Chain A
Amino acid sequence: MKLITAVIKPHRLDDVKTALQAFGVHGLTVTEASGYGRQRGHTEVYRGAEYTVDLVPKVRIEILADDADAEDLLDVLVKAARTGKIGDGKVWSSPVDTVIRVRTGERDAEAL
């Protein structure tokens, strides 16, 4: 079992969702997030005074996946989220010990 987490640009969310659905992902969690990477946000100028806005809006997507699907899923996600410009975000996967569906008590693969 893997937990795939992606922090991406908010305006890529719809494309990513569509791509994941096409791939066969049944569920995901989306959270509003903010942060910065190497580019350190952007600057804004108000009457000549420059402000550095380092926390830029992002969305965080979390998906539980079978080990077998994880690698392909990462590819799909990265492809759909990419604009090629700075600030596209990060995607990572981490191992998951146990998953339980709350309603039925099913575990792991059955719970996905």
Chain B
Amino acid sequence: MPEGFSAGDTAFVLVCAMLVMLMTPGLAFFYGGMVRAKSTLNMLMMSFISLGVVSVLWILFGYSLAFGPDVSGVIGNLDFVGMRNIEMDGLLDGYTIPVFAFVAFQLMFAILTPALISGAVADRFKFSAWVVFIALWVTIVYFPVAHWVWGGGWIFDIPVIDFAGGTAVHINAGVAALALVLVVGKRIGFKREAMRPHSLPLVMLGAGLLWFGWFGFNAGSGLAANGLSSVVLLNTNVAAAAAVLGWLVLERIRDGHFTSLGAASGAVAGLVAITPACSVVSPLGAIAIGLIAGVACAWAVGLKYRLGYDDSLDVVGVHLVGGIIGSLLIGLFATGTYGTEDQGLFYGGGLELLGRQAIGVAAVAVYSFVVTYVIALVLRSTIGIRASEDDERTGLDQVAHAETAYDFTGGAGVLSRSASPAATATGKPGRTDDADGGRSGHTAEAKVEA
């Protein structure tokens, strides 16, 4: 390996990449538990398909657009298309890890970000349109924004502090969610019918996986195993913890109960808010950011009922609001002694840092909103983005995936078409033959064993 290579840093970043990967299925369960039983699988699939689509696009051109050599501060060039011009042992400029470790780590961010959006359009977005949407959205919105913020683009140059993705990931996804919701419209029965989460244990499981994976998301973003990543990990944990408390206290006062959905949501809100700030604030600052985010996001999720937009699972209330809080609070809580020398208002730094952060927030929000809105309009007028009324009432699991998450009847159904080659070859429907054949086969084996 070339000089400067660190096996420790590389191992750490590779493990962090794996942790971040786990966030996408974690998110799938977090969202999957919050929808009604009839759309659970669809919700899981909307996240899972991002693993499929974005992984491929990232290798083809995504990494190059986001992190290729800068073109006018706006986008990366095509030097790294198809992973060409990247040597196996080549080190990332200025770091001690191979470029490929960075490619893998950043890929997981690109996968997670569009998956975050899916919660806003739960229960009603056509799955085929969702696949096309993800491909277009990461290409036109995420890759350029990632370049602006991290890849040497114009926001990077200001500079705006976004350690692990407050603007590039959470504000970006949160605003896109809002734009998409405005185009796709409300679920049938919004504000009239009960749309209770169908499985809070799934929500808690998902939130737990997200929390765990978030250590990779944030601590890995320094691309080194050192003191800074240690502080970042600690800040990440304590902000999530404080946000759980903040959310629950608000709920106890407002609604009279400490809910599990509130605890899970609070954790995610705190994690979102600390994401941009985790490298520049002290653990005490992280507690403050977490508490503020927990309370503010708990309050913000009610906005959809007052303003009348149907963000099904509160992507706006949690990710957009949380992301803005974290990004702006850097301007108040940055100590100047951790990952940056910039100081926030509370540490004698004046308003300059806050102003820079606000520019980053506003630029990403405006760009993401406008472009997402246009993508959604184009898709709506071409392939259509909304499931039919019948399909929405039936539930998207059956309609889009020919599956259901749960068997409530206890009846396994009747085998109506077998996948066995014999049935296909003879052209027989294979209905009773195969079903019976399968059963008698099992019975015969069981007898032999007995």
Which B240-268 residues have a C-beta within 8 angstroms of A? 251, 254-257, 259, 261-262, 265
Residues of B within 8 A of A44 (CB): 196
> Among residues 45 to 59 in chain A, which have CB atoms less than 8 Å away from a CB atom of chain B?
45-51, 53
Q: What 0/1 pattern do residues 7 to 51 of A give for CB contact below 8 A with B?
A: 000000000000000000000000000000000000011111111
| B314 contacts A by Cβ under 8 Å | yes
Q: Are A47 and B194 in contact (CB under 8 A)?
A: no
In the complex, are the beta carbons of A46 and B259 less than 8 A apart? yes
Interface centre among A44, A47, A49, A51 (most CB of B within 10 A): A47
Establish whether residues B255 and A48, one from each chain, have CB atoms under 8 Å apart when the complex forms. Answer: yes
User: Which of B194, B196, B197, B251 is within 8 Å of A48, CB to CB?
Assistant: B251
Q: Count CB-based A-B contacts (< 8 Å).
A: 30
A48 and B298 contacting across the interface, CB-CB below 8 Å? yes
| 0/1 interface trace, chain B 219-258, chain A, CB 8 Å (1 if under) | 0000000000000000000000000000000010011110
B194 touches A51 (CB 8 A): yes
Asked if B302 and A46 sit within 8 Å, CB to CB, the answer is no
CA distance in complex: A50, B251 (Å): 12
Q: Which residue of B lies closest to A52 (CB)?
A: B194
B305 at the interface (CB under 8 A from A): yes
Residues of A within 8 A of B257 (CB): 45
- Check A48 against B254 for contact (C-beta < 8 Å): yes
Q: A47 near B305 (CB under 8 angstroms)?
A: no
Determine whether the beta carbon of A50 is less than 8 Å from that of B255. yes
A49-B251 Cα distance, complex, nearest whole Å = 11
> Given A47, A51, A53, which contacts B314 in the complex, CB threshold below 8 Å?
A47
How far in angstroms is the closest Cβ of chain A from B296?
Answer: 13
Say yes or no: B196 contacts A47, CB within 8 Å.
no
Residue of B nearest to A45 (CB): B255
Q: How far is the CB of A49 from chain B (nearest CB, A)?
A: 7
Q: How many residues of B contact A (CB 8 A)?
A: 17
Q: Does B301 contact A (CB under 8 A)?
A: yes
Chain B residues lying within 8 Å of A49, measured Cβ to Cβ, are 302, 305
Taken residue by residue from 44 to 78, chain A's Cβ proximity to chain B (1 for < 8 Å, 0 otherwise) reads as 11111111010000000000000000000000000
Interface of A is mostly: strand
Return chain A residues, CB-CB under 8 Å to B259.
Answer: 45-47
* Per-residue interface assignment for chain B, residues 160 to 202, with 1 indicating a CB less than 8 Å from any chain A CB and 0 otherwise: 0000000000000000000000000000000000101100000
B305 contact set on A, CB distance < 8 A: 49
Determine whether the beta carbon of A47 is less than 8 Å from that of B265: yes
Task: Determine how close the nearest CB of chain A comes to the CB of B108; give it in whole angstroms.
Answer: 28
Encode B85-126 as 1/0 by CB contact (under 8 A) with A. 000000000000000000000000000000000000000000
Nearest B residue to A47 via CB reads: B301
Distance of A19 from chain B, by nearest CB (Å) = 30
How far apart are the CA atoms of A70 and B299 in the complex, in Å?
57
Q: Which chain A residues border B256 with CB–CB below 8 Å?
A: 45
CB contacts under 8 Å to A, within B420-442, are: none
Our pick among A48, A50, A51, A53 for the contact of B301 (Cβ within 8 Å) is A48
Q: How far is the CB of A29 from chain B (nearest CB, A)?
A: 19
C-alpha gap A61/B194 in the complex (Å): 30
Smallest CB separation, B339 vs chain A (Å): 33
Identity of the chain B residue whose Cβ is nearest the Cβ of A51 in the assembled complex: B194
A10 to B259, CA, bound (A): 24
**How far does the alpha carbon of A48 sit from the alpha carbon of B194 in the complex, in Å?**
13
Task: Output the nearest chain A residue to B191 by Cβ-Cβ distance.
Answer: A49
Residues of B within 8 A of A53 (CB): 194
Q: How far is the CA of A65 from the CA of B268 in the complex (A)?
A: 58
- B346-372: CB near A (< 8 Å → 1, else 0) gives 000000000000000000000000000
A47-B261, A48-B255 given; 20 more Cβ-contact pairs under 8 Å: A44-B196, A45-B251, A45-B256, A45-B257, A45-B259, A46-B196, A46-B197, A46-B259, A46-B261, A47-B259, A47-B265, A47-B298, A47-B301, A47-B314, A48-B251, A48-B301, A48-B302, A51-B194, A51-B196, A53-B194
List 27 A-B residue pairs with CB atoms under 8 Å apart, sorted by A's residue number: A44-B196, A45-B251, A45-B255, A45-B256, A45-B257, A45-B259, A46-B196, A46-B197, A46-B259, A47-B259, A47-B261, A47-B262, A47-B265, A47-B298, A47-B301, A47-B302, A47-B314, A48-B251, A48-B254, A48-B255, A48-B298, A48-B301, A49-B305, A50-B255, A51-B194, A51-B196, A53-B194
